[in-house]
Structure 1
Amino acid sequence: MSTTIADQDSYDPFDQAPAEEPVAEQLPAADARAARAARARVAAARLGAEGVEGVVVSWVDNAGLTRVKAVPVRRLEHAAAWGVGAAPCFDVFLVDDSITTSRHIGGPVGDLRLVPDLGRLTRLAAQPGWAWAPGDRLTQEGTEHPGCQRRFARRMIAEARRRGLELRAGIEVEWVVALAGPPAEPPVYPTHGPAYGFHRLTDLSDYLRDLLSALDRQGLAVLQLHPEYATGQFEVSIAAEDPLGAADSTVLVRQTVRAVGVRHGLRTSFAPAVEPDGVGNGGHLHLSLWRDGRNLGQGGPGPHGLTTEAESFLAGVLAELPALLALGAPSPASYLRLVPQRWAGAYQCWGRENREAALRLIPGPPDEGPGSANAELKCFDAAANPYLLIGGVLAVGLTGIAARRALPAEVLDEPSEHPGPAIPRLPATLATALAEYRTSTLLREALGDPLYEAVSAVRQAELDLFAEHTPEELVAATRWRY
């Protein structure tokens, strides 16, 4: 949860209470507009006094790219009240900025209003003179745009709360840094230290120190920062938040990583594959299910202390993972990463602390407290739209609870060498994942036809776009896009 402009003097970065729907959104349209304008007027005055000149408002498209509109700080009040124009065709943009179409969304006609969420308005520590807020996309009449991924996540969170459930989540952010250069050039790494080695922290200590400082000044509670397996690769983990906050924080963390890198002469790749035969960048989702302040991942009768509800939630997610990959591993390049024996979660199975399983159960140290138990979904990567990912996981998990699903037998060893029945692989190509997605009535109902079909259209168009590419060409085409 980041420090917002309205509450910087009293903010507790370790407060993990779920973010409520903004009060303005619960009012009639005209009153909501007036409430947003009044709040923005106060925030703009404070920002201006602190030297901020512009406010970036972001959304994430179905290809997984963060798109933005920016306004001068003096226009924040108007933007909060009326939004900023943003065409609906962005829902069918591809990773290379070409455009496809779908049955409900596409073409040059129409407009939306991108409305900043002032509850997450944050001064950007690595970009002096700038602030940021995530945006919700509404129609010109002020109603919900059915293709808005952030509003989809909101709906699923609201459905969980209606059932008395709360999800706490965090997305690990992995990236690779290289020396700045032309986009067509392959990466030239600023460090060649060993995986997880102290060498890398030494080689890039100024960069990483500035990154920690920037994240902290933005109110993001860093749990750990470390070198990862691949050359030039790092990972940062942020404290668990409410699901919408976790998705917003993922956007902010990535923007901060990139901005700090620019100031150090580095370029950043969050692409799922940076080298054709490398391990790539994951976007692992950690989650825990709560009811009435109790973590349902411990103290129950199920495997390793899971309550019945938590087990059914995870069983619902595990069963739907092949279709969920169309949201969480959305690029053809994702499947260069999602291969066995790289701890990418390529098998549709679960296990306690099993890093090769798609679903890793983490009971946590027994005396660490109620927040330690969680589950990690390892098969997702950094090309995913975090709002689609979190909304989709909530949708299938809640259905698992309703159906009282149970987890299959636990896999205690390397899945590829399992002595019993063969453990099913998750889809090995985007085409296979897309076929699973297209048969998922569950995801269609949760997303709604316009968003569901726009996602399908983008996935198919990117499959067609890269159909003749070799792995090397695919990596080169996508390496610096994410």
Structure 2
Amino acid sequence: MDRQQEFVLRSVEERDIRFIRLWFTDVNGSLKSVAVAPAELESAFSEGIGFDGSAIEGLTRVSEADMLMRPDPATYQVLPWRTDAVSGQGTARMFCDILTPEGTPAASDSRQVLKRVLARAADAGFTFYTHPEVEFYLLADDARKTGVPVPIDSGGFFDHVARGEGQDFRRQAISMLEAMGISVEFSHHEAGPGQNEIDLRYADALSTADNIMTFRTVIKEVAIQQGVYATFMPKPMAGQPGSGMHTHMSLFEGDRNAFHDPGGQYGLSKTGRSFIAGLLHHAHEITAVTNQYVNSYKRLWGGDEAPSYVCWGHNNRSALVRVPMYKPRKAGAARVEYRALDSAANPYLSFALLLAAGLKGVEEGYELPEPTDEDVTRMTPAERKVMGITPLPASLDRALTALEASDLVAETLGEHVVDYLLRDKREEWNQYRAQVTPYELRRHLPVL
């Protein structure tokens, strides 16, 4: 038994932890959980906990149903909202890796998919760091029942709403996140009414993905406590900004930022330029994962600084990839920002594909096109064509077609995950396409 496992067992006893929740994420990005008693922990660490994998969306076939979940002791944290105020008895959680009965990593486990790509980056000498800006809406509590999104305020970007519910919400959420060891960089009201943003600090990509899954749970829990409804839906209201997860990324070689070159354009090294080129080259193929819902394309093509076209720039928030210059003389701050991700995306699969695309650019020496400094959405189609700027997929259907044809996605996610995503998301698209929408009824019923 290693030291981390011993620490967990000792903490469980000393803090009177009565239940340990074992968490993992399915292919769709939904959090799954099972609670075990403290007496089961030692065998969970050594042997894993058996479960029916065929009951989890996209995990395995019925003929391969027996699976194991093995907790990662490095992710042990006490859940602040599950501690009894009177008795002090608590509940903790750990993220799990999913294994076959033989003890090998399950190819369809989202966390394992990311680990595989991180291992490939490590073999090349790189550590991958990410920093997400997570947006979400706070709505009236009955939004889920009524299907009508009513924001809790009418604030806008950076607005200070006196005694606003959003401020109290963010303060409580951040306190809860920090109690779980998740560092927050800053928070503010976003551009939409009732829309908020909380930015997590830089961390290695696996920790960040775990933190995002915890973040979503914390936000939902605090919303319940405060009598509001929190949603990460990409575009809950027409005419208002969607909720994205702009993600800053960098590669480090030891303590050196591989993206930094003080003599390069925008302080970018050749590695940084090739990494961006890889993101641009493979953007169409990975969009069905970074933006996996039919509603995602309402956000991407709805304006409000959401990226619709494949290009990069410096101070250009209409670009898909941006090179921020907040601290140009600080080598460690060199990074690139990918602006397409939804805050509802599966962070493990998304980070895996972003890293794989960037590494492909580095390995193959992709050439980076010229940056675009003007608003791409205001260009004419002819102007964009001359500059070689192509649109992102305009629908989930088009994104799935690009994903299906991608060697990069197949190599990164594996056959099982790709097959499941194609089946599940095509079913979502077919169901969406069959709907008769309120818009169609308002426009056509009175006159046709």
TM over 0.5: yes
Q: Which residue of 2 aligns with 1:124?
A: 79
Relative to structure 1, the CA distance from residue 89 to residue 357 in structure 2 (aligned partners, 3 Å threshold; closer, same or farther) is: farther
Partner of 1:12: none
Change beyond 3 A, Cα 1:200–1:352: farther
Two-structure CA RMSD over aligned residues (Å): 2.3
Kept after mapping to 2: 8 A contact 1:175/1:269:
yes
Per-residue Cα deviation, 1:176-203 (whole angstroms, up to 9, x for no partner): 1123237331233332233331017633
**Which residue of 1 is the match for residue 410 of structure 2?**
444
CA shift for structure 1 position 46: 1.6
TM-score (norm 2): 0.89
Counterpart for residue 304 of structure 2: 342
Distance (whole Å) between structure 2 residues aligned to residue 74 and residue 179 of structure 1: 42
In structure 2, the CA distance between the partners of 1:230 and 1:72, relative to structure 1 (3 Å rule), is farther
Over 3 Å counting, the alpha-carbon distance change for 1:84 and 1:280 in structure 2 is farther
Percent identical among aligned pairs is 26
Is residue 153 from structure 1 mapped to residue 108 from structure 2 by the alignment?
no
Residues 257 and 332 in structure 2, CA contact (< 8 A), matched pair in contact too: yes
Please say if residues 318 and 377 of structure 2, whose CA atoms lie closer than 8 Å, have aligned partners that are also in contact: no
1:163 maps to 2:163? no
Residues 224 and 470 of structure 1, relative CA distance in 2, 3 Å threshold:
farther
* Structure 1 residues 400 and 90: alpha-carbon distance in aligned structure 2, compared to 1, 3 A threshold: farther
Q: Compared with structure 1, are the counterparts of its residues 277 and 194 closer, same or farther at alpha carbon in structure 2 (3 Å cutoff)?
A: closer
Inter-partner Cα distance in structure 2 for 1:208 and 1:250: 16
Structure 1 residue 259: deviation in Å?
1.4
Alpha-carbon contact 1:276-1:471 (below 8 Å) kept: no
User: Residue 311 of structure 1 corresponds to which residue in structure 2?
Assistant: 273
Residues 85/267 of structure 1: CA separation in 2 closer, same or farther (3 Å cut):
farther
Aligned length: 427
Q: Which runs of 5+ in 2 are unaligned?
A: 84-89, 440-448
| In 2, Cα distance between equivalents of 1:182 and 1:381 | 20
What whole-Å deviation, never above 9, does each CA across 1:47-67 have from its counterpart, x for those lacking one? 243232222222222222222
Q: CA separation in 1, counterparts of 2:427 and 2:6? A: 42
Whether 1:212 aligns to 2:174 is yes
Q: Deviation at 1:205?
A: 3.4
Larger mean CA deviation between 67-76 and 116-125 belongs to 67-76
Are 1:235 and 2:197 counterparts?
Answer: yes
1:44 Cα deviation (Å)? 3.2
Higher relative contact order (CA 8 A, sep 6+): 1
After TM superposition, give the deviation of residue 433 of structure 1 in Å: 0.7
C-alpha distance in structure 1 between counterparts of 2:354 and 2:207, whole Å = 15
Structure 1: unaligned runs, 5 residues or longer: 1-34, 94-103, 474-482
Is 2:261 the counterpart of 1:299? yes
Task: Letter of the 1:306 partner, please give it.
Answer: L
Change (3 A) 1:133 1:353: farther
Shift of 1:471: 6.5
- Range with bigger deviation, 258-267 or 181-190: 181-190
Give the aligned partner of residue 145 of structure 2: 184
Question: SS state of the match for residue 142, structure 2?
Answer: coil
* Structure 1 position 73 matched with structure 2 position 38: yes
Deviation of residue 448 (structure 1)? 2.0
Residue 461, structure 1, aligned to residue 427, structure 2:
yes
Per the TM alignment, residue 90 of structure 1 is displaced from its structure 2 partner at its CA by 5.2
Map 1:56-71 onto structure 2 (within 5 A): 56-71=21-36
Alignment correspondent of 1:98? none
Shift of the 407–468 alpha-carbon distance from structure 1 to 2, 3 Å rule, reads same
Q: Deviations over 1:202-231 (max 9, x none)?
A: 334333222221122112111101111122
3-state SS of paired residue (2:210): helix
Is the 2:24–2:31 contact (alpha carbons within 8 Å) kept by the matching residues of 1?
yes
